[in-house]
Chains A and B, each alone.
Chain A
Amino acid sequence: MTVHTGRPAADGVLPHEWLYARLSLYLRRAPETIDPTVPFAEYGMDSVAALSLCGDLEDEFGLEVEPTLLWDHPTVESLVRHLSSVLPAAPAHARDRH
């Protein structure tokens, strides 16, 4: 199984559409209403939503992330910046998922 959820963003290997789709699911709002500079908490982010996204990131990209990730990087912008710096150079979508 491969990750083919969208074009890789110009600034990293994290597919933006995938990220917005997950956030849209957990925050229960349309992806186009999520502003990349607005804190997740303003959209009603709670621990279950935050941990769910942590779990997704671990599954999709083989990362090991701290449970506090989304509180330490509380907007799409800062989260993407952080993930771009920790994601491996090789595109994740070549890797088998378990």
Chain B
Amino acid sequence: MSEPRFATFTELLRARAAELADEDVHVFLRETAGGTEAEHLTYGRLDREARRIAAVLQEYDVAGRPVLLVYSSTVEFLKAFAGCLYAGAVAVPVPIPGEAGRDQRLGRTTAVLGDTGATLVLTETAAAPEVALWLARNSRPDAACLVSDMPGVGDADAWQPVTARPDDLVFLQYTSGSVCEPRGVTVSHRNLLANQAALQKVLHTTREDRFGSWLPYFHDMGLVAHLLHPVWLGTHCVQVAPLSFVKHPLRWLQAVDRYGVTVGGGPNFSYDLCARRVKDEQIAELDLSRWRLALNGAEPVRPESLDEFARRFAPAGFRPEALYPCYGLAEATLVVSGGVPGTPHVRKDFDRTALEHDRVLGATAGGRARTLVGCGTPVDVEVRVVDPLTHHELPPGTVGEIWLRGHSVARGYWRRPTETAHTFRASLNDEESNFLRTGDLGMLEDGELFVTGRLKEVVIVNGRNVYPQDVEWAARTVSPALTFGAGAAFSVDAGGEQLVLVQEVRGAGGAELRTVAQRIQALIGKEFEIPAGNVLLVRPGTVRRTSSGKVQRTLMRGLFLDGVLRGDYEVLTPDVRALARPQDVLFGEDLLRPEGADGGRRW
């Protein structure tokens, strides 16, 4: 069902609007006191609203220029996104900044505003005061804030159709890159259409499919697979707000049941959340039998999570073969590989010690084994496994960096020629050029892609990509005792990926150290939205750096896991303690806590 007749996503959307004017393109389930309230958007209305918004945008001369989109309602977001398409602007989906988005300290959205150089922000009435305040605070009086859902704004008939070319940009994805060094992946019409066609081939989707999502619109898997793929097909998506989902995971499953959702998913942790939070009596009332693809991507897929979800939701008619691990990344627009729909995913046991050294051996009897879940077969993309140092291709069954080439691979990073050349224009074996370096480690075995680890230092927890340098930078702001100390953040695998922060401290001691650590933990837990159960405060000079001053995180991680690195004050989660301090765990817990082992609660 590939449709080569469309040269741009804009053409496709206009054709859908003409053909399916009265059909739903989107249903947003708004959280209310008693549950949710459905708001429907039809293709016809989307087209009309997009023309109206585009007419306003055209007054600002936005063609080819970035426009930030800040929304809480995905109905309003979609209208604005389509408005950008119609005006030839480059949409930049971002989270709500400031207090409401709990983003004041980190300023992710502020970093994107700066990096894009955008002078226009589109938002909705509910978020407008927050956005206006944020722009004023950031001394960007030159940036205009347009409220797209305000009645009487724009005239759909005043819109001047724009002819886009396949290589014009549609949107920027800021899912990779740190706050310190934001990187907007530039996705063109050609990239988007190629990836939509790949999604269809991978997932075997048709117009009969119904999509169900809780992912934010600024997440690549949310935008490309759940919001835009239904448009490409001519069907619709039912959306639960991310906050509603995390508070009440049942809401998503109820949407799957009520709307007959066949395709929908999220990162691995969302399945843990459902299995943990939804009660047996609630499961008994659900019918999940029509759900044919429960996508699991964007963070490492854990076999335990898949098993537990399948077991818990079997009484609701959930089919284990619906569990659908897949692999993709923003730099390739989204999807790279996936399994065969309707068949069980692939699992294989490997020797754990060999994998830890990025080598592959089949598991042996009696040896420590790690079960890896296969991410399926690559579709419409060339995949090579490459030695990251020599840039030579490795033989099958060897772990190396995953390199990609194809029409889905984006053009580069917005206004970053050096990083673009390094990441998107790599040369293989000194002869083939223009490969994308994913920074992920993996291997191909009988055509199945296994992702085994990561070359880049990003930490992935709760489906979030957290960059060590951001954590290190933010931690230093909590106390003057840390201002001049180096820090090293990295992750360890202890029943799931866990963050560890090693931070140098000066001029503080005793009980102060604990207070400092608590402040760091609260900051990371709240602002980065990932657990910070492991903090080591160490003496100056402990954090190793290269002669050029670069923090040696991998080295610090090794020292920590070997039990060599210890803090003057340290707090560790039970899982990580068992990993890095097996001796202490044998003798009884919390031996190293300054308060001693009697801190336990009495009740």
The residues of A with any CB-CB pair to B shorter than 8 Å are: 1, 16, 20, 25, 27-36, 38-52, 54-56, 58-59, 64, 67-68, 71, 74, 76, 98
Contact = CB atoms under 8 A, between A and B. Distances in A.
Given A38-B599, A42-B571, A44-B521, A51 B246 contact: yes
A54 B526 contact: no
A46 B530 contact: yes
Nearest to B281: A1
A46 B600 contact: no
Contact of A48 (B102, B273, B533): B273
* Most B C-beta atoms less than 10 A away, residue of A27, A31, A51, A98: A51
A88 B182 CA distance: 47
Contacts of A34: 601
* Most A C-beta atoms less than 10 A away, residue of B34, B521, B531, B600: B531
A50 B34 CA distance: 21
B550 interface: no
Contact of B599 (A25, A35, A50): A35
B521 A42 contact: yes
Nearest to A71: B526
B248 A46 contact: no
B196 to A, nearest CB: 30
B79 to A, nearest CB: 26
Contacts of B517: 42
Given A42-B518, A46-B525, A36 B574 contact: no
B451 interface: no
A33 B533 contact: no
B601 A32 contact: yes
Given A46-B461, A46-B530, 4 more contacts: A29-B574, A32-B603, A33-B589, A48-B246
A76 B600 CA distance: 13
A47 B247 contact: no
Q: Is the interface of A mostly helix, strand, loop or mixed?
A: helix
Contacts of A55: 246-249, 277
A46 B464 CA distance: 12
Given A41-B525, A42-B517, A52 B277 contact: yes
* Most A C-beta atoms less than 10 A away, residue of B276, B522, B524, B530: B522
B243 interface: yes
A80 B488 CA distance: 36
A35 to B, nearest CB: 5
B248 to A, nearest CB: 5
Contacts of A32: 600-601, 603
A64 B600 CA distance: 31
A74 B531 contact: no
B532 interface: yes
Contact of B573 (A16, A38, A44): A44
Interface in B518-568: 518, 521-522, 524-526, 528-534
* Most A C-beta atoms less than 10 A away, residue of B517, B518, B534, B575: B518
A64 B94 CA distance: 28
A45 B532 CA distance: 7
* Most B C-beta atoms less than 10 A away, residue of A43, A46, A49, A71: A46
B531 A44 contact: yes
A33 B597 CA distance: 10
Given A32-B600, A35-B600, A46 B532 contact: yes
B333 to A, nearest CB: 27
Contacts of A16: 603
Contacts of A54: 247
B269 A48 contact: yes
B525 A45 contact: yes
B462 interface: yes
A33 B601 contact: yes
B33 interface: yes
Interface in B103-157: none
Nearest to B463: A48
A39 B529 CA distance: 16
Given A44-B531, A51-B246, A67-B243, A28 B518 contact: no
Contacts of B603: 16, 20, 32, 36
A42 B276 CA distance: 22
A65 B247 CA distance: 11
Contacts of A31: 601
A7 B601 CA distance: 18
A49 B277 CA distance: 11
A31 B601 CA distance: 8
A48 B33 contact: no
Contact of A47 (B276, B525, B589): B525
Contacts of B575: 28
